Every structure is written in C-alpha cells, then in structure tokens.
Amino acid sequence: MNKTRQERRTFQGMTYRQVQRCNSERRSQLSARENQQLKQDGYINVGWNNVINLYRKLEDIFERNTLEDLSLEELFLEAERIGNKYQSADEINEFNQQLVQEADLINQKIDSLYPDREMEVIDFSQQGARTNYYQTRKKSRKNNYRRNIYL
C-alpha cells in the first residue's frame, strides 16, 4: 500500500506555520487596545480558516494605520490607485484626456485674464543666489551704518 502524500495547503505561498508566525509578529506590533479588540472579535491564530482570517484582518489594520499617517497628496494618490483597480484602461485614458482638456481650458482662461508681456528669467544656480544674497546684505549694512551716524 502506497500512501500518497497530500499536497501541502498554502496561503499566498506560505505554509500554515509561516502564516501563523507572520500573524504573531504582526500582532506583536499592535497596541494592547488593538490586540484586545482582535481577541474580543474572535480572531485566533489556530486553525487554517482562523489563521487566514486573522492574517486578512491584520492586513486591514496595518493598511488603515498607514493611511492615517499619509499626507493629503499621498491620500489622493492612494485613492486614485484604488479607483484604478476598478476601471478599465479605456476608462482611465478617457478620464485623463478629459482632465488634460479641462486643465488647458483653465490655463487659457488664466492667460487671457493675466497676460504676461515680459519674460521673467529666474537664475536657480547656487552661485548666483549667494552672490545676490551677500550683495544685498552688504548694502543693508552700509545703509544701517549711515543711518546710525546721522541719528
């Protein structure tokens, strides 16, 4: 009698023990209040279904915690990423085209309201900025000195 060994059951490429270990490590990173809440809700780290449910719940908790720490811009990017999951490529392209058209209309409106007839050149080189800063500082010292003499 040949006993055939059953294939090992895995979850996201991890064995039962690996998922358990991962859950334990992640659970240790939670606050005591969150751990108590998990326990009250019946999430335990024993049994395949329970281990998988706990793993998913911990993922949700950590995702929620990371979302709380994000800036407003990062939150918009995250919302866009989530929204893109549920849209087809055609819908995304159509939305992007509409967005570009709206931005162009706004840009044209601004240009018509505030025409800029002269070119503005900005020197972003460090040397130019430092020289300008020191020259301005030097002039202000001279002016302060002259004011103090005449007072």
Whether 99 maps to a domain, the answer reads yes
**Residue written as token pair 């990062």:** 74
Question: Mean pLDDT throughout 126-145?
Answer: 58
Identify whether residues 33 and 52 lie together within a single domain.
yes
Inter-CA distances, 58 with 20, 62, 74, 110, 113, Å: 12, 6, 22, 48, 53
The 10s digit of each residue's pLDDT in 36-76 is: 999 999 999 899 999 999 999 999 888 887 767 777 887 78
Identify whether residues 78 and 23 lie together within a single domain.
yes
- Nearest CA among 79, 83, 61 for reference residue 70: 79
Whether 132 maps to a domain, the answer reads yes
Question: What is the reported pLDDT for 141?
Answer: 59
Angle made by CA atoms 74, 75, 76, in degrees to the nearest 5: 90
pTM attached to this predicted model = 0.43
Identify whether residues 144 and 83 lie together within a single domain.
no
Identify whether residues 30 and 83 lie together within a single domain.
yes
Whether 131 maps to a domain, the answer reads yes
145: containing domain:
121-151
Identify whether residues 109 and 130 lie together within a single domain.
no
Amino acid at 71: S
Tokens of 122: 């900005």
Amino acid at 3: K
For residue 97, pLDDT beyond 90: yes
The number of distinct structural domains making up the chain is 2
Identify whether residues 80 and 137 lie together within a single domain.
no
Whether 96 maps to a domain, the answer reads yes
**DSSP-based three-state secondary structure for 57:** helix
